[in-house]
Chain A
Amino acid sequence: MKRIPIDECPAGPEIDAAVAKARYSEIELVIDLEHGLIATSETRLCESLESGWIGWKSTLNGEVESFCLKLLKYSTDITEAWELVDGAGIQHAPSIYRIARWYCNFMVDGEQIESWATTAPLAIIRAFLKAKGIEFVEVPDETNTG
């Protein structure tokens, strides 16, 4: 694995996982990138990600041990990315437009956080991650950063 700057990270499960961790930073998540799944023992996440609900794992005595949810495709799906603009507590004066590439910015504590990308969802989540103070994403060594 290698760490690359947010602005060089391509769309895909690695950056989607970084968004999920940043969005639910107070909840411990175990992310299976290969299958696009999140496991957590917290019911709060299941409630807020109802559409991504898959199921649960129970212990022998029937108690729920952990929940399983789909890792949302924030970096490629505008509906998922838009949740970060509209409903993730970062929505300070967002601005989104496209000239040659897509541009997104948020104001956070008086500072303008901005990002460019080839698609709107990717520009939005890069800005979101920066707004959350995340500067690098872990990706497999063979990841092409273009």
Chain B
Amino acid sequence: MKQIPIDECPAGTYLDVAVAKAQYHGEHLVIDFKHRLFSTSDRAISCIKLSRYSTDIAPAWELVEELHDQSIFMCLSDENDLYEWYCGLTNAIDDRTISFEIGADTAPLAITRAYLKAKGVEFVEVADETNTD
């Protein structure tokens, strides 16, 4: 396994796992990559299906709503009409831009990357052979 920056991580299981880890921060997760399932190591929570945050808009939108509930607003745009999506995040409590212009080819991927950055995650663990181009 190797660690790569969020901005270079392609959509897929590794990024989705990173979201699950951010959501269960403090828990040690046991991941079944093949079947896209995870459990907490103490088995208090077992066999949760890993949502396809980075590829499907509906689960990605849950992340937008989750951040909003924490007063972190996400602006999603394709301003240059280049089919590249950008996310801007603003913390409404102090009106501070906490991250800006996180780009991706698709909206779910941009949302997932922005969510992870909002959670303080900078790197994602991926298989050594993962292509980051």
- Nearest CB in chain A to that of B80: its residue: A93
B77 within 8 Å of A (CB atoms): yes
A145 within 8 Å of B (CB atoms): no
Which residues on the B side are within 8 Å of A97 (C-beta)?
Answer: 73-77, 88
Which residues on the A side are within 8 Å of B76 (C-beta)?
Answer: 95-97
- Nearest CB in chain B to that of A85: its residue: B107
Which residues on the B side are within 8 Å of A98 (C-beta)?
Answer: 64, 68, 73-74
Which residues on the A side are within 8 Å of B83 (C-beta)?
Answer: 91
Number of B interface residues, CB 8 Å? 19
B79 within 8 Å of A (CB atoms): yes
B20 within 8 Å of A (CB atoms): no
Contact of B73 among A79, A94, A99, A107 (CB under 8 A): A99
Per-residue B-contact encoding for A61-104, CB less than 8 Å = 1, 0 else: 00000000000000001110010011000011111111100000
Given contacts A78-B61, A86-B107, A120-B61, contact A93 B68 (CB under 8 A): no
Check B57–A79 contact: CB distance below 8 A. yes
Q: Least Cβ distance of A75 to chain B in Å?
A: 15
Given contacts A79-B56, A82-B107, A86-B107, contact A95 B61 (CB under 8 A): no
- Which A residues contact B (CB, under 8 angstroms)? 77-79, 82, 85-86, 91-99, 107, 120
Further 13 A-B residue pairs, CB within 8 A, beyond A91-B78, A98-B74: A78-B57, A79-B58, A91-B83, A94-B78, A95-B77, A96-B77, A97-B73, A97-B74, A97-B75, A98-B68, A98-B73, A99-B73, A107-B81
